[in-house]
Amino acid sequence: MLNRVIQQFGLNVLSINEVEDSHSSTVYKCNLLNGENIFLKIPYTKLKCQRELKAYEILKERVSIPKMLDYWSGDEECPGAFLLSELKGQPLTFMAPPTVAFQVGVLHASMHQIQPPTTPKLTGIQNEFPNWSNFVERQFYSFAEDVREVLDENLYKQAVEKFEKMKLQLPPSDGPSFIHMDFRPANIIVDENKVSGMIDFESVRFGSTEIDFTKLYRDFLRFDFTLYQSYQEGYNTIRSLIDLEVVLPFYRFTDAFNSIGWCKRRGIEKNASFLEENLSSLKKMLL
């Protein structure tokens, strides 16, 4: 399939390396004969392809993202493919200074400022905001089928009861906003203490911002309160940040629960360390 995609785009490739930490698509970094670096991205499904395609249209010139150089709609065997420019830099790490956390806040809020277009009719990306509570519930109980096979029955029942109880305590939803749904360090690119932009839009929606802070907190903000403060300051320069202390406990809990289900679907052995991490988090939150 890779060779077919390369032929489709007419690329003269010198070397190819598969990009790690890409979970909803296959991504390759290609060094071309002219010295340029580009990325080939092949989403796993047509739906993910449609979301990504629409996201590039919506986000273009509004937030910093790679340029979509070309697109192939695919065929019976390939769901589609993207040819993307390179954002200079490396994925964000918790070793970044507060100035970078501030910029991440600005980037995140700039994306959340984007609302669903009124015309033309929205295609490719769902607007889940009008039924946000139902969306969160659907996600939880979809993964619950897989989680049930991993947790012992007592723990599983406790988790479901906690979900139902915490859900009732949530404040009114904040939105509708463009939400990334996978806004984590691996998808935020930093070059010499300057945020270059963000990548990966297979899971985007219009919905409530409250869900979109979870993975960034899990993988970055919780390690250093100074980073957390700087991120909030940056975010607030663009739009008012919701009270994260109120919503994070619920979304961190559902993230741990859903991630266990994700590991079951994608292979327990292959994702053993991520599974253990989320099992540990879930058990702590249930105590």
User: Which segments in the chain show pLDDT lower than 70?
Assistant: 21-24, 119-122
HSE-CB for 262 with a 13 A CA cutoff: 18
Cβ atoms of residues 213 and 248 within 8 Å: yes
Same domain, 115 and 70: no
pLDDT at residue number 35: 84
The total of structural domains in the chain comes to 2
Residues comprising the chain, all counted = 287
pLDDT at residue number 125: 87
Per-residue pLDDT of 173-199, as tens digits, reads: 999 999 999 999 999 999 999 999 999
Q: CATH code at 230?
A: 3.90.1200.10
Tokens of 152: 């012992």
Q: CATH code at 74?
A: 3.30.200.20
Same domain, 137 and 238: yes
Per-residue pLDDT of 60-83, as tens digits, reads: 989 999 999 999 988 888 888 999
What are the DSSP calls for 186-197, one per residue?
Answer: GGEEEETTEEEE
pLDDT at residue number 266: 85
Same domain, 99 and 57: no
- Global pTM reads 0.91
Residue 6: domain span: 2-86
Q: Which of 260, 281, 279, 270 is nearest to 145 (CA)?
A: 260
Same domain, 122 and 243: yes
Same domain, 200 and 58: no
